[in-house]
Structure 1
Amino acid sequence: MNKERIENLSIILKKLNQEGATEEVRQEALSIVKEISPVELSIAEQNLIEEGMNPQELRGLCEVHMEVLKDELDKIKTSITEGHVLNTMIEEHEEILKLLKKLEVLNNKIQKMNNYDEEGNIARELVELADNILDAENHHQREEQVLFPEMEVLGITGPTRIMKMEHEDLREKKRRIKSLGENAKYVNFEAFKSDLDETAKYLIFNLRDHIFKENYILYPSALETIKENSKWEEMKDRCDKIGYCGFTPSH
């Protein structure tokens, strides 16, 4: 790891937070990020948290890094085998993204409706979809109870802290969408539509962003730091005990 690169990136992350993503700062960040590894980025984030920056302020600061890594997911997947802890998590992400697309379509449909009676089963559709999205909880538990602790033991604590914080935030939004569906016929329809639109759009945007950061920053950092196959096998056993999601393709 290159300490100078980590220090330079820490400075850039501060600039991004303080000045916003101006073109000048973005280009400066791109020039550094192209040469930096996921672990080095993780350490730069971690250093800022230890200096007192609120992890909330670091959310969204990885866009520049993600811009560089957009086409890298296939390379990550070919470096691990089917059934590997991370391969399963990446496959689950793909299924979650499909559910978010369904939520986007359903929300758009509801926003065009004038009253609840236009589509008698719309609330049931929303509740069922929310249940499917909430079914990702075992995915998050495997991350929080198995993957994150192993990374933290090896000194990668900043990104895991941010991901856990986002899990809590996103759980609340998922539950809110289910509650809206369950109570749709008891409330003013326009108020229901407005609340759903705001909550669904927040969840869709932020969960997609969360998945991107895990796929392209967190998981590559884990692969780079946890090197022993025996450790991944032991982690797989612990994941098996926690369990999987109804939509998990294979494990």
Structure 2
Amino acid sequence: MSELINNREQIKIENYERQQILKEIILELHEGKSVDEVKERFQQAIEKISVEEISHLEHTLMKEEGIPVEEIQRLCSVHTNVFKGSIEEIHGVDALKTVKGHPVHTFLLENKLINQFVNFTLSLHKDRYIKEQKHINKEKLLNDLTKLLEIDKHYSRKENLLFPYLERYGIFGPTKVMWGVDDNIRAEIKSAISALKDGADKEVSERIDFIISEVNEMIYKEENILLPMALEKLTEDEWVKIEREGHVIGYTFIEEPETWHPERVDLQTNVFLKEGTIQLETGILDIEQIDLMMNHLPVDITFIDENDVVRFFSHGKERIFHRTKSVIGRTVQNCHPPKSAHIVNALLDDFKSGEKDTEDFWLHFKDKYVYVRYFAVRNEQGEYMGTLEFTQNIKGIQEIKGEKRLMS
């Protein structure tokens, strides 16, 4: 037992020492040393590096060394070049190259076509335009750059579907860095289009060379760092959710992939649902989160079901019309004075019959200007399921003038 403990302690020490060496190498790059200088030290000190260590390294540099994420983005391509060829082989990516519909397969397929497009089509038309200065070459190049803007869909799926799951596992550094580089690539493509339209040939050539280089580097980072790391962390259920949402954003250079159906006993089984959590169509929240979220909205919400029974009301700090918990379970008609019951019934009759879907009222109440909205709630079959009351003090909103684009 003591020998096992000693071995574990030795592994911890070795891992710590590796991280320190890696951090020192990146800081040397940050201070201006050349890639060749640090690469030689890296190769002497460390033979292989895992994607986990790269993730931890970027997180440490931002948190402990105080290097801003923008600077990490600048160094990203440099230190990837240092580590290239030394990253541990992750067989999971290769294994999924043939699993059609899996998000990794889709990312890889897009990368293959993106790689071909920037290195052959875009590069060819750029060279011809610069050398021959023909209008037809300019049009082809302009079409190429415009088409390359489709890369936004590839990057957006990565940023908005994959990154949130990685962040659940505490992986923030690589996601922030990569998102920043993605934004730079998007901006450079748009700038190259503008320069081409303005006839700034030298700028066009330089920007396109930069785009090709950065896109190729991003492909490498995705396939050798990001996707292997995601395969280590994410469960099959999470990959299913990513795949099911892909069509909402769209795809780059490919049609919508066929639906991925993993081999499993029950697709409805969700191992993440713990007691006290609720799975919604667009997310998973626990009861406390739902309660806090509802009570922090700057509006009052009340919901009655299809039988006119009050089922819920939000309880924010400044309710406009006060509610007590005693109304829960009572019919909405019994919560209003008898003289106004006919108005309530008329509204509900219109909602239930389908004659109306909304009804709005506005009135002055004390020092507030109150906007009250009612919405008929219907299921996918169009059946009436209840009514949502939405009440808001719009006095402050009406006083808004001009614009406010930044925080102050």
TM-score normalised by length of structure 2: 0.53
- Counterparts in 2 of 1:61-140, with a 5 A limit? 61-69=79-87, 72=89, 76-79=93-96, 81-101=99-119, 102-113=121-132, 115=133, 119-140=134-155
Partner residue of 1:174 out of 189, 198, 212: 189
Change (3 A) 1:247 1:127: farther
Report if aligned partners of 1:38, 1:221 keep a CA contact under 8 Å in 2.
Answer: yes
Report if aligned partners of 1:17, 1:57 keep a CA contact under 8 Å in 2.
Answer: no
Cα RMSD, aligned residues only: 2.4
The more displaced of 5-14 and 230-239 is 5-14
Q: CA offset at residue 229 of structure 1?
A: 0.9
Matched, 1:211 2:226: no
In structure 1, distance between residues paired with 2:203 and 2:24: 39
Partner residue of 2:168 out of 153, 158, 172: 153
In structure 2, distance between residues paired with 1:249 and 1:66: 32
Change (3 A) 1:141 1:56: closer
List gaps (5 residues or longer) in structure 2: 1-11, 259-408
Amino acid at match of 1:234: K
Amino acid at match of 2:62: I
In structure 2, distance between residues paired with 1:148 and 1:31: 33
> Relative contact order, CA 8 A, sep 6+: which one is greater?
1
Partner residue of 1:221 out of 216, 219, 229: 229
Which structure has the larger Rg? Answer: 2
Identity across aligned pairs (percent)? 25
Helix, strand or coil at the partner of 1:68: coil
Q: CA offset at residue 7 of structure 1?
A: 3.1
More strand by share: 2
Change (3 A) 1:33 1:137: farther
Report if aligned partners of 2:113, 2:253 keep a CA contact under 8 Å in 1.
Answer: no
In structure 2, distance between residues paired with 1:161 and 1:151: 11
Matched, 1:247 2:254: yes
Partner residue of 1:52 out of 48, 63, 66: 66
Give the number of aligned pairs. 237
Matched, 1:232 2:250: no
In structure 1, distance between residues paired with 2:74 and 2:249: 32
Matched, 1:29 2:29: no
Equivalence for 2:21: 8
Partner residue of 1:200 out of 208, 213, 236: 208
List gaps (5 residues or longer) in structure 1: none
